[in-house]
Amino acid sequence: MNETFTKSMARNIFFGGSLFFFLLLVGLSADTVQRLPERDNRENLTPQVVLGKKVWEDNNCIGCHTLLGEGAYFAPELGNVYVRYGNSKEAIKGFIKSRPVDGIPGRRSMPQFNMSEEELEAVAEFLKYMSEIDTNGWPPNVQG
Amino acid sequence: MKYQSQMVAKPYFIAAIGLFVGQILFGVIMGMQYVVGDFLFPEIPFNVARMVHTNLLIVWLLFGFMGSTYYMVPEESQTELYSPKLAMLLFWVFLVAGALTIIGYLAVPYATLAHMTGNELLPTMGREFLEQPTITKIGIVLVALGFLFNIGMTLLRGRKTVITMVLFLGLVGLAVFFLFSFYNPENPVLDKMFWWWVVHLWVEGVWELILGAILAFTLIKVTGVDREVIEKWLYVIIAMALITGLLGTGHHYFFIGLPEYWLWIGSVFSAMEPVPFFMMTLFAFNMVNKRRRQHPNRVAVLWALGTGVMAFLGAGVWGFLHTLAPVNYYTHGSQITAAHGHMAFYGAYVMIVLTMISYAMPMLNGREAANSIKSQVTEMWGFWLMTVSMVFITLFLTGAGILQVYLQRFSDAPLPFMIVQDKIELFYWLREAAGLVFLLGLIVYIISFFVKGEEARLKPAEQTVIE
């Protein structure tokens, strides 16, 4: 960096560039929020799905699983688990209920959360909801 | 040490290192759970170990940033801190609140903790990295406000430099974007979109300003290169960081239910994200080559150079590796992400905090400029053990990730997740071994603080200029 490129030029690039791109991010985010109704499956956002999201969060499911590819990588992707389980909420509920309290010797196992029937139904509805979001075709196949 | 109030940095650094040890212990536990699935189950389930691992990382880095700020600001501003007492009060508040949160994670099931801390009133919990109870989050905001007030008042009454301005901007950004952690809409897509306003805009945005400022400060000190030159570099680096990083948020928007145009925006801008990190490497090596003094603290110089190289590799190269949308379609949420995350966090943020600690600790312990040669050599062993084992952790996770992507997502007959996990077990064993070496390196690093010997001083001939 020679003398023709001065510190004040560098400073102006920083302030101008950052401000410009921050405003662009805000603008694009506003546009995205406008377009979301076409993609985010909100017409199916029932109180049950909202409760399901709460149960999901209260039990820190993201601490082992990914959901649309975000979270921990210790347990399977659940964004499409509804599809993987043959579009069956009963299969999802059955799996959650069946977890042994002391785990499986030598293997990874989901804890037993002792959920109520209402919570189980809500979580299953939430996972069904997630599977119906338009994710640009992700994941590549049903295995997640 | 020129200013008495710089001493408040010391407890912050000690706490940071203590929490770092906790982070690594839980990392080793998780690594073991990857291969021996029922290890410590059901006492410490994986999700709990992971929360402790990632939350301790964030908290100890914040302690490190705050300690660095308290050390740098009086010297840069040429004035004592506005209130050392407030700094110490906030230290204890933050440490106790952090410890209680971790105990909460370990002592009761997460759902119980959520219930106990009133998550019904304002639900913010259970989202990756933002698992802290709402009351802890409010505490973090209060500590941040007190901290920014203290630093802001100090800056107002002293000399204003580019370094402190950039540092303060980064810290304000850190506090402001954290506020998005209180926004938890019922719509999961909106939730995910704005969750990144904390997570991405922190680590690929405002934290880079803090990183740049700390690196610039230590380079001025250990090389004696003219401040004007260093400040110009600093501006260019952080300009590139924000220009590429702000819209780089788009690379997280590919597959979570947002419009297709993010596939392009995210790919283009995140492809440029390695640039500021490459410049940082050039910057560090350039300044050290141009140095006008041979600083007796050689190991601090080593940490500074290491930060440049490892941040470029981890954040830059490993980030770019899977950031283009067609590649990310296959690698999203796989062990490739974990590989990138480990090296990027270590290279950029862990190493910059250790750079500052390495530079400042000798003075905080009452020395003129540096520890004894023996102590420095021990610390260098710690540096190499930790850095090389982190390279191997990254390589093993990358190997695991490539196989995982192929078997589970790319081949003609995709296999289920758990079957694939069994097939790549070897890489997880190797990663765990590398993790144990990392822990060993950390122990050696800590031992270096207790190695005595005659302190290294500037020799008269070297004291002026080496050219």
Which residues, in sequence order, are bridge partners of residue A66? A71, A77
Nearest to B151 by CA among B231, B67, B69, B214: B69
Tokens of B396: 């093993």
Task: Give contacts of B 221-250 with A, CB under 8 A.
Answer: 228-229, 231-233, 235-236, 238-239, 242-243, 246-247, 249
Q: Mark yes or no for CB contact B46/A56 under 8 Å.
A: no
> What value does the mean pLDDT take over residues A46-63?
98
* Amino acid B115: pLDDT: 97
Nearest in space to B50 (alpha carbons), one of A75, A123, A130? A75
User: What digits encode the pLDDT tens for the residues B456-467?
Assistant: 887 654 555 544
Segment B327-378, tens digit of pLDDT? 999 999 999 999 999 999 999 999 999 999 999 999 999 999 999 999 999 9
| Nearest residue in A to B194, CA atom | A29
Say yes or no for a CB contact (<8 Å) between B126 and A62: yes
> Mind listing the pLDDT tens digit for each residue in B50-61?
999 999 999 999
Which residues 6+ apart lie within 8 Å of B186 measured at CB? A45, A50, A53
What is the CA A90 to chain-centroid distance, rounded? 21
Q: What is the pLDDT of residue B431?
A: 98
Average pLDDT, rounded, for chain B? 96
Distance CA(B314)–CA(B346), nearest Å, equals 8
Phi-psi region of B129 (alpha: psi -120 to 50; beta: other; left: phi over 0): left
| pLDDT score, position B365 | 96
- State how far the Cα of B189 lies from the Cα of B194, in Å rounded to an integer: 9
Decide: B401 and B38 in contact? Cβ < 8 Å: no
Give the pLDDT score at B284: 97
- Structure confidence at residue B105 (pLDDT): 98
Q: Which of B347, B284, B360, B353 is nearest to B317 (CA)?
A: B347
CB B234 within 8 Å of CB B166: yes
**ipTM for this model:** 0.97
Distance between CA B263 and CA A135 in Å, rounded? 11
Task: Record the tokens describing residue B436, joined without a space.
Answer: 């144990």
pLDDT of amino acid B8? 98
Q: B467: which 2 tokens?
A: 């050219």
Number of residue pairs across A and B with CB atoms under 8 Å?
A: 231
Name the percent of chain B lying above pLDDT 70.
98
0.90 exceeded by the pTM? yes
- Report the pLDDT value the prediction gives residue B462, as an integer from 0 to 100: 53
Residue B346 per-residue DSSP state: I
Q: What average pLDDT does the structure give for chain A? A: 96
The answer on pLDDT for B33 being more than 90 is yes
Dihedral, B381, B383, B389, B390 alpha carbons, nearest 10: 180
What is the mean predicted confidence (pLDDT) over B90-95?
A: 98
pLDDT tens, residue by residue, B255-283 = 999 999 999 999 999 999 999 999 999 99
State residue B38's pLDDT score.
95
Report CB contact under 8 Å: B333, A141.
no
Question: What is residue B130's predicted lDDT score, i.e. its pLDDT?
Answer: 97
User: How remote is the C-alpha of A24 from its chain's centroid?
Assistant: 25
